[in-house]
Amino acid sequence: MRVTMILPALTEATSPLFRPVKYSLFPPLGLATLAGYLRDDDEVRILDEHVERIDTRVADDRPDLVVIQVYITSARRGYELADRYRERGVFVALGGLHVTSLPDEAAAHADAIFLGPGEDTWPRFLDDFRAGEPASRYVSTERTLKGLPPIRRDLIKRERYLVPNSIVVSRGCPHHCDFCYKDAFFTGGRSFYTQLVDDALAEIERLPGRHLYFLDDHLFGNRRFAEALFDGMAGMGRVWQAASTVDAILAPGLLEKAVAAGMRSVFVGFETINEANLTEQRKRQNVGRSYEAVTRRVHDAGAMINASFVFGMDGDGPDVFDRTVDWAVATGLETATFHIMTPYPGTALFRRMDAADRIVHRDWDLYDTRHVVHRPRGMSAEQLEAGYWRAYRNFYTWPAIWRGAAGKPGGDRLRHLAYAGGWKKFEPVWDALIRSGQVLRALPLLEAALNRFHRR
């Protein structure tokens, strides 16, 4: 059987003028995971439009099966690819977050759709497809990572990615924030579950080099699993990055185990400096927590922070942008990602805003957290977009980077300057590396920025 798996690209990622490095960070791990269920004699390829072009005009490109993973801002392109393959008589299967959120929309462009995670539905579909009796809709209900086959990393073009060693050892998140896209994806079964620790460690052992990036929504979400994983990783000599929540970072002992096992940077969803917003969005794990205590714990342990902030919640006014940046710089956050609050289909936020007639349109291309797609309360849409871009500009100025680094010890100060400056101030260099297919050559620089000045 000939199988083509596709991750369609966002429009910005295919621009002939400029491509941010974030589109060449991680390979399509979800598709490589599904490929592990195929037989040894199946011919399979993975195409990632973020790093390579797909020529849909090739008339003899007729595999037996095309699988497309669809996110909201790639939905238009995903449907376009699906329609072109179906016109040639190719069977097309669609899955992913957007398909699960809007199954009827996706079904118009597919022969089969998948709702929720694929570990239970994908093997069942393959049996049905080989028997010539595929269903049109597969809905996940059984949630387990036991017996997961090895990820087909041989299908990943490692040289095209800065972080080829991405890994996921859990699914979902134990929390349920109103704006989170994942709740709809895990409807009908467990919304958070992990691999067996030994299986996760075996997958880590398979990966070459030193650097890892855990793409789990919340690697610290199951304390018993996380502690056992970190104990197993101790002594491996890895340097790695992951995501956690403020309450898990404040939990005694867990952060220290992670850093001892090689964690050098952690993504933290602070989201907002207005506590009323946290309650409104059910971000309960942040309510009543000291963000200053979080940053102190991470920095004292010897790790860096990539902070996430969301603008445009109902408690935000025009002053929120400058106040957030000032706080982030003053507390020494190394990097930050900013977002405009976006009501994704399938979320409680979308249902609430839709009922209040606050959704402006359903042009999924613009649901990228960089455009305003709802009617904000505390400011105009123009103020919200302008403030979002101003926050990025102001946080990543050289004076702000230096001010954030200045209060740290010498080694940590150098790491802050190298990491924050390298990430945002040299984007033309990243663009050149991406276009020349040489981005992987920068991996040693990333490892050095993460670890060289680590003092413990």
Q: Tell me: pLDDT of 452 over 70.
A: no
pTM as predicted: 0.92
What residues contact 66, with CB distance under 8 A and at least 6 apart?
3, 4, 5, 6, 81, 82, 85, 90, 91, 92, 93
Q: Tell me: pLDDT of 294 over 80.
A: yes
Q: What is the pLDDT of residue 188?
A: 78
Q: What is the pLDDT of residue 315?
A: 86
Q: What percent of the chain has pLDDT over 70?
A: 92
Long-range contacts, stretch 39-43, CB < 8 angstroms, 24+ apart: 39/1, 42/1, 42/2, 42/3, 43/1, 43/2, 43/3
User: Which amino acid does the sequence have at 57?
Assistant: R
- Asked which of 214-228, 273-287, 396-410 is least confident by mean pLDDT, the reply is 273-287
Q: Tell me: pLDDT of 272 over 90.
A: no
Q: Which ranges constitute the DSSP H helices of 356-453? A: 381-395, 398-406, 410-424, 427-435, 443-451
Which CATH number applies to 162-451?
Answer: 3.80.30.20
Please state, in angstroms and rounded to a whole number, the distance separating the CA atoms of residues 309 and 257: 26
pLDDT band at residue 244 using 50, 70 and 90 as cut-offs: very high
> What mean pLDDT value characterizes the chain?
89
Tens digits of per-residue pLDDT, 106-142? 999 999 999 999 999 999 999 999 999 999 999 999 9
pLDDT band at residue 281 using 50, 70 and 90 as cut-offs: low
Structure tokens belonging to residue 314: 């109902």
Please state, in angstroms and rounded to a whole number, the distance separating the CA atoms of residues 166 and 161: 10
Domain 2-139: which CATH number of 3.40.50.280, 1.10.10.10, 3.20.20.10, 3.40.1030.10: 3.40.50.280
Surface-to-core class of residue 109, CB atoms within 10 Å of its CB (0-12 exposed, 13-18 middle, 19+ buried): buried
User: Do 36 and 3 form a contact (C-beta atoms < 8 A)?
Assistant: no
Tens digits of per-residue pLDDT, 337-387? 999 999 999 888 999 999 999 999 999 999 999 999 999 999 999 999 999
Q: Tell me: pLDDT of 456 over 50.
A: no
Domain boundaries, the chain: 2-139, 162-451
Q: Tell me: pLDDT of 230 over 60.
A: yes
The count of residues in the chain is 456
Please state, in angstroms and rounded to a whole number, the distance separating the CA atoms of residues 453 and 41: 47
User: Do 47 and 6 form a contact (C-beta atoms < 8 A)?
Assistant: yes
Tens digits of per-residue pLDDT, 43-99? 999 999 988 888 777 667 899 999 999 999 999 999 999 999 999 999 999 999 999
Surface-to-core class of residue 330, CB atoms within 10 Å of its CB (0-12 exposed, 13-18 middle, 19+ buried): middle
Measuring CA to CA, how many Å separate 419 from each of 164, 446, 448?
Answer: 19, 8, 9
Mean pLDDT, residues 198-212 taken together: 94
Q: What is the pLDDT of residue 261?
A: 96
3-state percent helix, strand, coil for the chain, nearest multiple of 5: 45, 15, 40
If one compares 288 and 219, the residue with the highest pLDDT of the two is 219
Query: Which residues lie across from 171 on neighbouring strands?
Result: 193
- Asked which of 156-170, 258-272, 299-313, 411-425 is least confident by mean pLDDT, the reply is 411-425
Please state, in angstroms and rounded to a whole number, the distance separating the CA atoms of residues 192 and 322: 36
Q: What is the pLDDT of residue 278?
A: 53
Q: What percent of the chain has pLDDT over 90?
A: 67
Q: What is the pLDDT of residue 93?
A: 98
